[in-house]
Chain A
Amino acid sequence: MVHLTGEEKTLVTGLWGKVNVEEVGGEALGRLLVVYPWTQRFFDSFGDLSSASAVFGNPKVKSHGKKVLDSFSNGLQHLDNLKGTFAKLSELHCDKLHVDPENFKLLGNVLVVVLARNFGKEFTPQVQAAYQKVVAGVATALAHKYH
């Protein structure tokens, strides 16, 4: 279970209130596919992922990115029970999608980079630390039902 102080929760939700979930979702998923190309193997049905431009112009990447980030947003509202919140998604990623849980950490890192890029100076060390804690907690929760 991830423990955020009251201050950290405020920092996290404060920044998240300014996030365009649709845009950031597509950006984060797109960057995952470009920076860690082996992750493309999970998205065979997405069509053209052959270059950064193809990835970023791909409508399936954008819409799936939004779906993923909406789910992450949900997690932010249940920081005290991430394992419960992500239990079903954890089973799905293990039993049906066969995703190596290491990839959850990679996506978490990419999300942090996207937030850093979008918010610049506002993405202070404390904000970063709080988000780093959250993405690690979500990654752990998503791995929790693996067997």
Chain B
Amino acid sequence: MVHFTAEEKAAVASLWAKVNVDVAGGEILGRLLVVYPWTQRFFDNFGNLSSETAIMGNPKVKAHGKKVLTSFGNAVKHMDDLKGTFSQLSELHCDRLHVDPENFKLLGNMILIVLATQFGREFTPQMQAAWQKLTTAVANALTFKYH
């Protein structure tokens, strides 16, 4: 189980409070689809994903990005039990969505990059370290029920 220090939890929570989940969610998912184009295969029914402009402006990308990031917000509230928190989503991603768990790490990287672009100076090395730990732990939790 991943152990977060009190400092790490405080750092994560303080930045999370300032995140606009609506906007950031779409940005994060959009960047995943642009930077790692093979991930588009999971979103066949999203319509036009043919260019960066199309992807970043796509309303389904924004809506789904918001859904994913809201779920991630759950992780911030349950940093001591990520496996339990993501257990059902893990089963879903394995059994029904058939998503290679490597992609969870890629999405985690996108979260960090979007936070870095939005928070600049505030995204200190310690902040980055705490968030890296969290996204890695969430990726592991989402992989946990894979078989």
| CB of A21 closer than 8 Å to a CB of B | no
Give the distance in Å from the alpha carbon of A116 to the alpha carbon of B124 in the complex. 12
Question: A125–B34 contact, CB under 8 A?
Answer: yes
Which of B42-50, B78-86, B91-99, B109-117 sits within the interface?
Answer: B109-117
Question: B117–A121 contact, CB under 8 A?
Answer: yes
CB distance from A145 to the nearest CB of B (A): 25
| CB of B15 closer than 8 Å to a CB of A | no
Those of A54-80 within 8 Å (CB) of chain B: 55-56
Give the distance in Å from the alpha carbon of A30 to the alpha carbon of B129 in the complex. 11
Tell whether A31 pairs with B128 under 8 Å between CB atoms, given A125-B56, A128-B35, A132-B35: yes
CB distance from A75 to the nearest CB of B (A): 19
Question: A120–B120 contact, CB under 8 A?
Answer: yes
Give the distance in Å from the alpha carbon of A118 to the alpha carbon of B109 in the complex. 17
Count contacts on A: residues with CB < 8 A to the other chain: 25
Closest to A55 in B: B125
Interface residues on B, range: 20 to 34
Which residues of the other chain, B, contact A31 by a CB distance below 8 angstroms?
125, 128
| CB of A112 closer than 8 Å to a CB of B | yes
> CB-CB contacts of A108-147 with B at 8 A, as 1s and 0s?
0100111011111101111011001000000000000000
Tell whether A113 pairs with B34 under 8 Å between CB atoms, given A31-B128, A123-B117: no
Question: A35–B116 contact, CB under 8 A?
Answer: no
Q: What is the predominant secondary structure among interface residues of chain B facing chain A?
A: helix
Closest to B121 in A: A117
| CB of A34 closer than 8 Å to a CB of B | yes
Give the contacting residue for A113; candidates B31, B55, B112; CB below 8 A: B112
Question: A116–B116 contact, CB under 8 A?
Answer: yes
| CB of A52 closer than 8 Å to a CB of B | yes
CB distance from B106 to the nearest CB of A (A): 10
CB distance from A6 to the nearest CB of B (A): 16
Question: B113–A116 contact, CB under 8 A?
Answer: yes
CB distance from B51 to the nearest CB of A (A): 9
Question: A128–B31 contact, CB under 8 A?
Answer: yes
Q: Could you list which residues of chain A lie within 8 angstroms of chain B, going by C-beta atoms? A: 30-31, 34-36, 52, 55-56, 109, 112-114, 116-121, 123-126, 128-129, 132
Q: A117-B117, A117-B123 are in contact. List 13 more A-B contacts (CB 8 A).
A: A30-B125, A31-B125, A31-B128, A34-B126, A34-B128, A56-B125, A112-B109, A116-B113, A116-B116, A117-B120, A118-B120, A128-B34, A128-B35
